[in-house]
Structure 1
């Protein structure tokens, strides 16, 4: 059943996805049932940032994402960890992240790219996670204080970042002075689960393997694209600051080993981004 509420949108604010003023509703991006599992009031003012305005059609379409009870069990309790629940979790968090990013007007993929992907998913029912996105997760152990870990952040060239200049084959060749994302990844903790989402241009043949190794440094494991074998998800002390600081879009002072070769050469000369490709 769709989680629909007219309360809070009496003025008929436009739908976040299509702009329609017809049949306005309030969408709980994080489902009401999940907040209730945590003993929280879904309509509390403190949770307003997790709500947005959608038309009835898009509210009903997005609410289908929340109809996965075992996945909700995993978020709440840390189990069951199965191929199915991790697959559902990986898919769910991508679309939830896009909705949250669009609602706050900024995000890794940008407003227009996020809206385009969401409309493609919910208007055409084009199932599946967007190409190139990788999702990492961990079960959080709050009984142990996580160790402080200092490390140089990795700078990434994000897909969809208008500052990354591409040649006719879609290969990064330089930077521009345009505005772009301020974060290189999206991270969120819900219940017992912490998740990281991102999509970047390749730095070489083993880019994905090295990306996974970098994320493992802060205690997370890849859940999408799925491994051939089920990842061993054990409760782990997690420091959220370490996750949010792992990747950056700022060249200065960062490890550029996960950047495309042309951009590494660009950065190594200490050049500032400019309006034309190098």
Structure 2
């Protein structure tokens, strides 16, 4: 079963931005009637600014990393959904003009399959990644690792839409969502040439017919799916071989096919081409 791919959150940063430009961003947001909330504290970033445009879009702004204690030029970090950058492109244009560089930091890549969660199997390549649960959602990674490369959650998107927005979907909908954060920051203008390679982190499969699997193998797959037992390396290899055809989800291939189109909108909005 082929998955569809989307980006749920897109994070980027401007380098060497003066404080006056950050205050200018606040001033322009206020003049345009955007509701704002600012927090000033000594956390990961000294300034946090949260901007909304009605119910249409939001923008999280973080300015001056706590490590930046010298000079007067600092990092400005942005985080929102890719399409939301279009709503704030004019607001961000003065920042683009003064920044010394614009970089892609990371994003959440979502792989969606139209099936129930019980059919989705995700196995980490690094067995030190332990599975945890919250309700029906499965996690590889602890809460404080939420923004680290390879953090993964597998959840029932259909249930989430119903519980949070009251939207009813007439078919199963499961999501495998992984954080993609390159080891080194990538120029935003070059990000289209750097699709994620998440097969290196996880093996995934969507089992469309459990009845054709041998009983013992099906039990092993279910146990691995739920994190009950990850077995020995030999059994894990045999499970992956069983699931490889026709159930395997090729994260690398899926991302590579669609990556340029997925990053096109935020890149155009942030690089002045929108």
Report which structure shows greater RCO (CA 8 Å, sep ≥6). Answer: 2
Q: Same fold by TM-score, threshold 0.5 exceeded?
A: no
TM-score scaled by structure 2? 0.25
Structure (1 or 2) with the larger CA radius of gyration: 2
Point out the structure with the larger helix share: 2
